[in-house]
């Protein structure tokens, strides 16, 4: 399958499907744009209109929601030190990768999950097992080592809470509205600069129906 065919259904990839990890699987909604440099995930779903800029690394990550903005050179799912370089062993060198009896994987190390409408700045690093809530913002060059609440703004090394984008009541209403389920064409007609007015108008909007493409290293399938 050529990338030009994917572009016709609104999906932009900087790589061919042969770059998808062996035994890996991607589920991409219409309008996604992915320009990752390294991919090592087992299964990854990416929601409609989300973009990932060039130089980024998709490692231990499982889910990225709709309308997310992920900047250049972002690392998602970076392994934690004790996982890749165990400090309690004889050496921190990863001997276990070539050992006759490899170390058992840690089942607690889950793939990163990112909600909808998340903005991640340039060169940020998201450690494995972290969940980033809908509406959150991660400042550039931050290192995120723990879960980020919905609509939180975090920054620093390690990333710490700076503030929230909206007051608690407004954030709760935005979450309850599930506005990301509305089609982009309708959202563009809405007063996105006025959350209160937006929430009043959202009640009469139609739900989106985005096409989905399922990709593996050797196959693809379009789901209408």
More confident site: 115 or 14: 115
> Is 92 within the bounds of a domain?
no
- The values of phi and psi at residue 127, to 5°, are -75, 155
Instruction: Please provide the average confidence, as pLDDT, over all residues in the chain.
Output: 89
> Is 67 within the bounds of a domain?
yes
pLDDT of residue 22: 87
pLDDT of residue 90: 79
Q: How many CB atoms lie within 10 A of CB 43?
A: 15
Q: How many domains does the chain have?
A: 1
> Is 10 within the bounds of a domain?
yes
> Is 11 within the bounds of a domain?
yes
> Is 97 within the bounds of a domain?
no
Are the C-beta atoms of residues 63 and 45 closer than 8 Å to each other?
Answer: yes
Structure tokens at 128: 């494995």
pLDDT of residue 109: 64
> Is 192 within the bounds of a domain?
no
Reported as a single tens digit per residue, the pLDDT across 50-74 is 999 999 999 999 999 999 999 999 9
- Domain of 64, CATH number, reads 2.160.10.10
pLDDT of residue 2: 59
With a pLDDT cut of 90, the percent of the chain lying above it is 67
- pLDDT range class, residue 223, cuts 50, 70, 90: confident
CA distance 14 to 54: 8
Per-residue pLDDT at 107 exceeds 60: no
pLDDT of residue 8: 82
pLDDT of residue 135: 98
Q: Residues of 171-181 as b/e, b for ≥16 C-beta within 10 angstroms?
A: bebbbebebbb
Structure tokens at 159: 């990333």
48-57, 109-118, 136-145 — which is least confidently predicted?
Answer: 109-118
Q: Which of 148, 149, 138 is closest to 171 using CA atoms?
A: 149
List the beta strands (DSSP E) in the chain. Answer: 12-13, 25-29, 33-39, 43-46, 51-58, 61-64, 69-70, 75-78, 112-114, 119-120, 125-127, 131-132, 137-138, 143-144, 152-155, 160-164, 212-215, 220-223
83 is catalytic: no
Marked catalytic residue, from 35, 83, 85, 183 = 85
Model confidence, pTM: 0.90
pLDDT of residue 126: 98
- pLDDT range class, residue 82, cuts 50, 70, 90: low
Domain span at residue 157?
Answer: 3-80+109-166+209-223
Reported as a single tens digit per residue, the pLDDT across 141-190 is 999 999 999 999 999 999 999 999 999 999 999 999 999 999 898 999 99
15-29, 77-91, 113-127, 193-207 — which is least confidently predicted?
Answer: 77-91
pLDDT of residue 219: 85
Reported as a single tens digit per residue, the pLDDT across 13-34 is 998 888 898 889 999 999 999 9
> Is 144 within the bounds of a domain?
yes
> Is 70 within the bounds of a domain?
yes
């Amino acid at each position: 399958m050529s990338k030009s065919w994917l572009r016709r259904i609104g999906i932009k990839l900087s790589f061919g499907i042969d770059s998808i990890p062996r035994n890996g699987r991607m589920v991409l909604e219409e309008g996604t744009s992915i320009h990752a440099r390294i991919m090592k995930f087992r299964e990854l779903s990416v929601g409609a209109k989300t973009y990932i800029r060039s130089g980024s690394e998709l490692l231990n990550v499982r889910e990225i929601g709709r309308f997310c903005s992920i900047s250049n050179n972002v690392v998602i799912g970076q392994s934690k030190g004790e996982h890749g370089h165990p400090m309690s062993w004889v050496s921190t060198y990863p001997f276990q990768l070539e050992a006759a009896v490899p170390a058992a994987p840690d089942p607690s190390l889950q793939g990163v999950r990112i909600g909808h409408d998340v903005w991640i700045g340039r060169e940020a690093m998201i450690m494995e097992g972290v969940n980033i809530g809908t509406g959150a913002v991660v400042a550039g060059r931050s290192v995120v080592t723990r879960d980020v609440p919905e609509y939180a703004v975090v920054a620093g090394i390690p990333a710490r809470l700076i503030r929230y984008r909206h007051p608690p009541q407004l954030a709760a209403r935005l979450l309850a509205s599930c506005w990301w389920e509305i089609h982009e064409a309708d959202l563009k007609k809405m007063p996105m600069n006025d959350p209160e007015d937006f929430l009043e108008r959202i009640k009469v909007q139609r739900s989106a129906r985005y096409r989905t493409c399922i990709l593996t290293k050797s196959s693809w399938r379009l789901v209408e």
